[in-house]
Amino acid sequence: MSKAANTRLTILHKAFELIYSKGYQTTSIDDIIATTQVTKGAFYYHFKTKDEMGIAIIEEILKPTMQEHFIKPTESSQNPIEDFYNMISYLLLEDPFLQVKYGCPVGNLTQEMTPWNDKFSGVLAELVDLWKKTIINSIEKGKTSGLIRKDVIGEQVAFFILSGYWGIRNFGKLQNDNSSYLVYLKELRSYLNGLK
């Protein structure tokens, strides 16, 4: 990788970490260049504006990560119910990057940037839609393979699962411990079993 491409990526990664922990608005360009050791000239060579960088983070960091970790595994799923549970459980309890007190990066950005920034809304909506569609597909497969009841409606379940995930992430932030996660996961299990 060229040196230039490298500084660009450092900016994106460090900025993402800062934004994940502090929020987009409260993360200043000065914050970013201070932690990256990159000068302002370099920053503005790579990104015309702060928002352009924000969008790049979503497109180039969040999107690929999500594709790799959640979309792909779910696509190759044989047992949707089990996999949904494992996906959420992994995200809540095991993912090494995500932290209870900082919530869900996508959820945070959605909350903070919509409704007043259409560009952010657009790319975030795409991202979430991808995830949603994958879940719906997985449910349909489960229905044909007999693992899921035929009267279950994929879109409804997808919204229900993802909403629950976003919401409990907020509880985690509020209490700053994962006890709420554990309680939530038990009910998720019971809900998912109801789809069989």
The footprint of DNA (CB under 7 A) covers 2-8, 27-31, 38-42, 44-46, 48-51
Q: Which stretch binds a second copy (CB under 8 A): 7-15, 30-38, 60-68, 119-127?
A: 119-127
| Nearest distance, CB of residue 174 and a second copy, angstroms | 5
| Nearest distance, CB of residue 72 and DNA, angstroms | 31
| Nearest distance, CB of residue 96 and a second copy, angstroms | 18
Alpha helix stretches (DSSP H) within 23-147: 29-36, 40-46, 50-57, 63-66, 72-75, 80-89, 105-113, 118-144
| Nearest distance, CB of residue 43 and DNA, angstroms | 8
CA torsion 47→50→54→57, rounded to 10°?
Answer: 40
The partner in contact with residue 29, picked from DNA, a second copy, none with C-beta cut-offs of 5 to 8 angstroms by kind, is: DNA
- 129-142 in b/e form (b: 16+ CB < 10 A) is eebbebbbbbbebb
By CB under 8 A, residue 166 contacts a second copy: yes
SS3 breakdown of the chain: % helix, strand, coil, rounded to 5? 80, 0, 20
Q: Cα dist. 22→17, 18, 28, 70, 192 in Å?
A: 8, 6, 10, 25, 34
Residues forming contacts to a second copy in the complex (CB under 8 A) are: 22-23, 25-26, 101-103, 107-108, 110-112, 114-116, 121, 124-125, 128, 153, 155-157, 159-160, 162-168, 170-171, 173-176, 180, 183-184, 186-188, 190-191, 194
